[in-house]
Structure 1
Amino acid sequence: MAQIAPKAEWKEDWIKDTVYLHMFPRSFAKSVVNISPFAIKLELWLRLNKIPFKVIDYNGMGSKGQSPFIFFNEKEIPDSNFIIEYLSEYFRVDPYPGLSITDQAVARAFLKMIEENTSWAIFIYRYVEQPDEFAEYFMPKAPANVKAALQKSLQVSVRDRAQKHGIGRHSSEEVHKIGCDDIKAISAFLANKKYLMGDNPTLVDCSLFGLMTQIVCVPMKYPERKIIMEECQNIKDFVDRIINLYWSEWHEQCEF
């Protein structure tokens, strides 16, 4: 099995008001900068808002058993949404700048759909249904026995969590119909806008980018990827736009 990381702790040389973003090492992924869409979401949000941060490659989980998590001014904060809520208040940043209360409600609804519905179709495909296909893009430099053991553990864990969530009780065809219908809804709402809610990126775009990179940038045979490439090109354009504007090191960071 993969070595378990020691408990993360604040370091004496860490700088006040700098976010120490703990996430799975970039080397765990191929064709994308991180295997966690939530880590990508959080890193993009920090970039958009010019909040000082340092990435800490960490092969482990935070206090809630989640990755990513942060240390900030000696405090550990888990869960990307609670992290963003905390930092928004601290730095006086609006996660939805310029949006009306109604539009903020729409954005929140899309964020929750992406993170608590659409994402399951992707996780089920790569961890439960097609681990052999995903093996090419997961921990590419790890010893085969270590990778196989971790993939087996993830397969059992994700299957169990999906069952408890409810989506895992559906057939594969039904799960991916849900995922593809979500993709079509996102594409229809995005239309020809630069970002989901208009001309400026907001928190929901960070969430959308985090998950869509797992599909667009990783050439697996996701049913959802086929829909994007054949029917929802505006989502691929959205991903490319954000990489070009806000993540100049993207392709370099994918080279593991």
Structure 2
Amino acid sequence: MGSAAKVILYQLFRSPRAPSPSPFAVKLDTFLRMAKIEYTNDFSVTQSSKGKILWMRYDGEPVEDSQFCVEYLNRKLNINLNSHMTEEQRAIAHAFRKMAEVNLYWCMGMARMENMEFMTSMPGNRFNKLFIWYGIRVYLNQMKAHGIRPHSHEESLHIMEGDLRSLSVYLGKECKASCL
């Protein structure tokens, strides 16, 4: 791209331990860097028309959802980071991506809930506590809608470990095959 960035990435703040607390922001940020697409971050927590905090503008056009952003930029800029993959490998990658974005994401959320519940008991002003309490309730309702909330903490960890083990085995197999 030229010297002026055409992509503005709207996302949450940077985290001290990770580029973002959102795995979807990390995904999109990683794609932009791998594709060598210049972009600027906007951490103003400006929501998209769909109520999403992670979204982007490309030449002024809004694109919402991390995967739609990747697909849009692939089409618009004629990028294909998967061109070296077979159709079967792309299908497997798609399945693992969906597993991580849906099942693994909500299981990780379940694991994080213990820390979030603790935050409501911390000292602080009433507005911050109310905001955290409300955010936790919304997130718990979303977890219930996705089907992970009825499970115990131990059960959700079991599901998450199975997903991570499957991904690890597959990536280890792929690495062995491609490293030879």
Corresponding residue for residue 6 of structure 2: 18
Q: 1:177 aligns with which of 142, 158, 165?
A: 158
Q: Deviations over 1:158-203 (max 9, x none)?
A: 11011111111222221111111111111111116559x957xxxx
Q: Deviations over 1:40-80 (max 9, x none)?
A: 11011000011111111122321111121001111111100
Do residues 167 (structure 1) and 155 (structure 2) align?
Answer: no
Using the alignment, how far apart are the partners of 2:172 and 2:77 within structure 1? 32
Do residues 35 (structure 1) and 21 (structure 2) align?
Answer: yes
Q: 1:186 aligns with which of 155, 164, 167?
A: 167
> 5+ residue gaps in structure 2?
none
Corresponding residue for residue 130 of structure 1: 115
Change (3 A) 1:21 1:181: same
Secondary structure at the aligned position of 1:167 is classed as coil
Q: How many residues align?
A: 172
Using the alignment, how far apart are the partners of 2:117 and 2:96 within structure 1? 31
Using the alignment, how far apart are the partners of 2:178 and 2:55 within structure 1? 29
Secondary structure at the aligned position of 1:21 is classed as strand
Q: 1:81 aligns with which of 67, 70, 74?
A: 67
* TM-fit CA distance, 1:30: 2.7
Contact 1:24 1:60 in 2 (8 A): no
Contact 2:45 2:53 in 1 (8 A): no
Contact 2:32 2:38 in 1 (8 A): yes
Contact 1:118 1:179 in 2 (8 A): yes
TM-score by length of 2: 0.86
Which of 1 and 2 has greater Rg? 2
Q: Deviations over 1:209-233 (max 9, x none)?
A: xxxxxxxxxxxxxxxxxxxxxxxxx
TM-score by length of 1: 0.62
Using the alignment, how far apart are the partners of 2:83 and 2:157 within structure 1? 33
What amino acid maps onto 2:60 in structure 1? E
Q: 1:101 aligns with which of 87, 95, 100?
A: 87
* TM-fit CA distance, 1:94: 0.8
* TM-fit CA distance, 1:110: 0.1
> 5+ residue gaps in structure 1?
1-14, 136-142, 200-256
Secondary structure at the aligned position of 2:149 is classed as helix
Q: Which runs of 4+ in 1 moved over 3 A?
A: 192-195
Secondary structure at the aligned position of 2:129 is classed as helix
Secondary structure at the aligned position of 1:96 is classed as coil
Q: 1:157 aligns with which of 117, 134, 138?
A: 138
